[in-house]
Amino acid sequence: MIVSRESVTAYIPHRAPFIMVDNLLHATQELFETDFFIESSNMLVEEGFFQASGLIENIAQTCALSFGYLGRQEGGEAKIGFIGAVSKLEVFELPPASTTIRTRVSPLHQLGNIYLVKGESFLEGRILLGCEMKIVVAE
């Protein structure tokens, strides 16, 4: 683990109850990886299941946390990113509350301050949701 859940707010602008990421497990230019324990009280849990909107937000916050971490590593400030667009969305399964999901994001292309990334979330090795996302990083 390279950033623990206690420290994520140093890297992302989100605040409780809208923090949808716990620990940063891996962050290189090629791959970001996080995990997230879904509390039953999470605002995006409905009828016992974490909704697709939550999984999408989890991917976006995985990007935010990773870009923030990498920005700090390069000696700068943690940069803030915004979701520009979501495409190629596929939802396979929604995870129940009180489980821990794992999320992997791969940056595919960069054009200036806009990144195209591919994100996937998993529960016990099963894919939950996949999508591409354009992230606009504030300069």
Instruction: Examine residue 126 and tell whether it contacts another protein (CB under 8 A).
Output: no
Q: Considering the complex, state which of residue 38 and residue 135 has its C-beta at the smaller distance from another protein.
A: 135
CB count within 10 Å of CB 119 equals 24
Q: Say how far apart CA 129 and CA 114 lie, in whole Å.
A: 22
Minimum CB distance to another protein, residue 98 (Å): 37
Q: How far apart are CA 23 and CA 6, in angstroms?
A: 8
Q: Does 114 bind another protein (CB under 8 A)?
A: yes
Of 70 and 116, nearer to another protein (C-beta) is: 116
Contact criterion met (CB below 8 Å) for 80 and 138: yes
**Which stretches of the chain bind another protein, using CB under 8 A?**
84-85, 108-109, 111-112, 114, 116, 134, 136
